[in-house]
Amino acid sequence: MPRIAGVDIPDRKKIYYALQYIHGVGPKYAADLLGEAQITPDTKANELTDQQVAQLNSIIDANFLVEGALRRQVAQNIQRLRDIRCYRGERHRHGLPTRGQRTRCNARTRKCKKKTVAGKKGVKG
């Protein structure tokens, strides 16, 4: 199992898709990496030579922010928003959507499981 950027990538998948298992590498970056390393995207991950794996590792280290460093940077950005107490920081602090989505009838993913209010439906006033 090849180890690229500190991540074990799947053996039997094409290298184009296997690279996307690395946090911070999507379809565009995977294509850019393979183009720069001159590796065909149809090559299986277990068919790579040690030299090609080393070349991919060096390109990722030089040009891309991936895995732990990327997660750390995202966490620092969110913490900065919280510290300056801006609107987005307050939304992060309260666990609500930060990008302007409505929350009256949706946003269940951010607001946790639905809380039912007992007796609300049958009360007439």
Same domain, 54 and 83: no
Instruction: Please indicate, yes or no, if residue 42 is contained in any of the structural domains.
Output: yes
- 123, two tokens: 């009360």
- 33, two tokens: 């990496």
Domain tally, the chain: 2
Cα–Cα distance list, 54 to 6, 61, 113 (Å): 12, 11, 46
Spatial neighbors of 25 by CB under 8 A, at least 6 apart, are 5, 19, 33, 60, 64, 66
Q: pTM of whole model > 0.85?
A: no
Same domain, 104 and 75: yes
Instruction: Please indicate, yes or no, if residue 97 is contained in any of the structural domains.
Output: yes
Same domain, 55 and 15: yes
> Domain span at residue 30?
3-63
Q: What is the pLDDT of residue 123?
A: 60
Q: Please, what are the averages of pLDDT over each run of 10 residues along the chain (125 residues)?
A: 86 94 94 94 93 93 91 96 96 92 86 77 62
Q: What is the pLDDT of residue 121?
A: 67
Q: Which residue's structure tokens are 């039997």?
A: 12
The phi, psi pair for 8, rounded to 5°, reads -75, 120
Each residue of 30-45: b (16+ CB within 10 Å) or e? beebbeebebeeeeeb
Q: What is the pLDDT of residue 117?
A: 76
| Alpha-helical segments (H) within 1-125 | 15-18, 27-37, 50-63, 67-83, 87-94, 108-111
